[in-house]
Amino acid sequence: MTQQRIARLAPAIFGDPVEAVDTPALLVELDAFERNIARMAQFAKAKGVRLRPHGKTHKCATIARSQVQAGAVGVCCQKVSEAEAFVAGGIEDVLVSNEIVAPAKLRRLAALTAQARIGICVDHPLGLDALIAAAPEAARPIDVYIELDVGGGRCGIEHIEDGLRLMDRIAAARNLSLAGIQAYQGSAQHLRKPAERKAAIEAAVARVLGLREALVKRGAGALRVTGAGTGTFYLEAASGAYDEIQPGSYVFMDRDYGDNEWAAEAGRFENSLFLLTTVMSRRARQAVVDAGHKTHSIDSGMPAIAGRPDLFYDRPSDEHGEIFPASPEVLLPELGQQLRLIPGHCDPTVNLHDWLVGIRAGHVEALWPVEARGAFS
Ligand code: PLP
Ligand code: MN
């Protein structure tokens, strides 16, 4: 039954030309994708930092395995259900870079330690209570990271004293081990100018060093500092304060990251993710494609159209997108023609799809299930 369902849902057949792919479908251009994976792995190796790519971007165990094969220590994710999918897919070191407080979820997390090294973040004594209650069920100690707010203003402790109190209780708890500090500066990632991102990460580093020093003074052993995304990883890596980087979007990139001004030291990452769509209706001044916002996320703005800067996508509805000419003389695509959209935001776009269709030289080479698609528990 399952096989039949998978066969029905796959939008492509191995070896087919891309024109035969059923749209809308998410394509991964494999040459660009493989270069992105290799580039980040080489960067981390050259800088002497551990690479733990964020799996929330792709939610796909095949991609996680490629990242580990290229040198990543494991992956991170945001949800227990994502961790379950990655562990089932053979990843042996998974950090939930997030707070989890529900007892049932924490018991599921503890159960995963039978198969993998598992980490989690805490930022509140009540959350830590819940973790302490679940930890005795673990097969080995769970790595606990104290999350520090380094300027994002979302999760994480605000005051060093709160970190010290958490540390004392982690040290005393059965099956918990204080692994380090989670310090992700989310609001810095899409600051457009390199100088703005640099200033934000300098401030984050100062916060990290303050907490680390206080924890060490209190008697903490080796502490690992982990954080960073695609917009800033080169800054955390160069800071000397971070031991591990967590970029996610670099494997695919998206229009929003494309709008960042890139710093030379960040290297070059390429768009490898495209939403293939077909013109299904056509008028003199507008073409309508079969990719609405049920197939790509618009929280970070509209997609770009690959290779067609003379066209723009607008007025998305559930199942339709409208294509307009950027200037009056531009010819619109014809009915039946395919276009490739560069999604505004890669992570939530992938979450809308069951399959990633790997393309090389214009043909379907891979079909990867997005195992953790919709996994948000
Ligand atoms: N680390 C954490 C904790 C995150 O929440 C995210 C993304 O939001 C990342 C890393 C990766 O960021 P990006 O996909 O922008 O590289
Ligand atoms: Mn994102």
Beta bridge partners, 338, equal 278
| 245 & 332 share domain | no
Domain at 14, CATH number: 2.40.37.20
Ligand 1 pocket check for 226: Cβ under 6 Å? no
Give 146-169 pLDDT, tens digit per residue. Answer: 999 999 999 999 999 999 999 999
For helices 160-172 and 194-217, the axis angle rounded to 10 degrees is 50
Q: Strand 93-99 relative to strand 311-314: parallel, antiparallel, unpaired? A: unpaired
**Cβ(97) – ligand 1 distance below 6 Å:** yes
pLDDT at 2: 46
Choosing from 212, 231, 254, the residue where a domain stops is 254
Instruction: Say whether pTM exceeds 0.80.
Output: yes
Query: Quick one: which H or E segment has residue 26?
Result: strand 25-29
- The answer to whether residue 375 is domain-embedded is no
Q: Is the CB of 257 under 6 A from ligand 1?
A: no
How many domains are contained in the chain? Answer: 2
Considering every ligand atom, which ligand is closest to the CA of 229?
A: 1
Calculate mean pLDDT across residues 208-233: 98
Ligand 2 ion: residues within 5 Å (CB):
347
User: What are 322-375's pLDDT values in tens digits?
Assistant: 999 999 999 999 999 999 999 999 999 999 999 999 999 999 999 999 999 999
Task: Could you list the beta-strand ranges (E) of 71-130.
Answer: 75-77, 93-99, 117-122
Residues 56, 58, 59, 60, Cα dihedral to 10°: -150
Residue 5 has pLDDT above 90, yes or no: no
What confidence tens digit (pLDDT) does each residue in 105-142 have? 999 999 999 999 999 999 999 999 999 999 999 999 99
Same domain, 16 and 158: no
User: Are residue 129 and residue 247 in the same domain, yes or no?
Assistant: yes
Statement to judge: residues 84 and 204 lie in one domain: yes
Environment class of residue 35 by beta-carbon count within 10 Å: exposed (0-12), middle (13-18) or buried (19+)? middle
Domain CATH code at residue 103: 3.20.20.10
Query: Same domain, yes or no, for 201 and 129?
Result: yes
Confidence check on the interface: ipTM exceeds 0.90, yes or no? yes
Q: Is 185's C-beta closer than 6 angstroms to any atom of ligand 1?
A: no
What percent of the chain has a predicted confidence (pLDDT) above 70? Answer: 98
What is the arithmetic mean of pLDDT over 275-294? 97
370: exposed, middle or buried (Cβ count in 10 Å: 0-12, 13-18, 19+)? buried
Q: Which ligand 1 atom sits closest to the C-alpha of 182?
A: 3
Read off the amino acid at residue 86: F
Q: Is the pLDDT of residue 43 over 70?
A: yes
- Residue 264 maps to a domain: no
Which ligand 1 atom is at minimum distance from the Cα of 97?
3
Q: Per-residue pLDDT averaged across 229-248, rounded?
A: 98
For residue range 10-29, list pLDDT tens digits in order. Answer: 899 999 999 999 999 999 99
Confirm whether 263 is domain-assigned.
Answer: no
Q: Are residues 194 and 88 in the same domain?
A: yes
Task: Reply yes or no on whether the pLDDT at 6 is more than 50.
Answer: no
Helix residue ranges, H only, 176-289? 194-217, 233-239, 255-258
- 176 and 309 share one domain: no
Among the listed ranges 45-49, 97-101, 372-376, which one has the minimum average pLDDT value? Answer: 372-376
Q: Residue length, the chain? A: 377
Closest CA to 178 of 213, 209, 147: 147
**pLDDT the model gives residue 10:** 82
Locus of tokens 């989890």: 100
Residues 6 or more apart whose Cβ sits within 8 Å of residue 285 = 324, 325, 332
Q: Which amino acid is at 108?
A: R
Neighbours of 281 (CB within 10 A): 12
| pLDDT tops 70 at residue 45 | yes
Specify whether 144 is located in the same domain as 155.
yes
Environment class of 229 (CB within 10 Å of its CB; exposed 0-12, middle 13-18, buried 19+): buried
Structural domain includes residue 97 = yes
Q: What is the 3-state secondary structure (H, E, C) of 129-166?
A: HHHHHHHHHCCCCEEEEEEECCCCCCCCECCHHHHHHH
Domain, as residue range, for 230: 30-254
Q: Give the pLDDT score at 8.
A: 47
Mutate to test the pocket of ligand 1, among 99, 184, 351 (most ligand atoms within 8 A of CB): 184
Ligand nearest to the CA of 186: 1
**Looking at ligand 1, which atom is closest to the CA of residue 227?**
1
Question: What does the pLDDT read at residue 1?
Answer: 42
91 and 23 in a common domain: no
Looking at the domain assignment, is residue 315 inside a domain? yes
260 inside domain: no
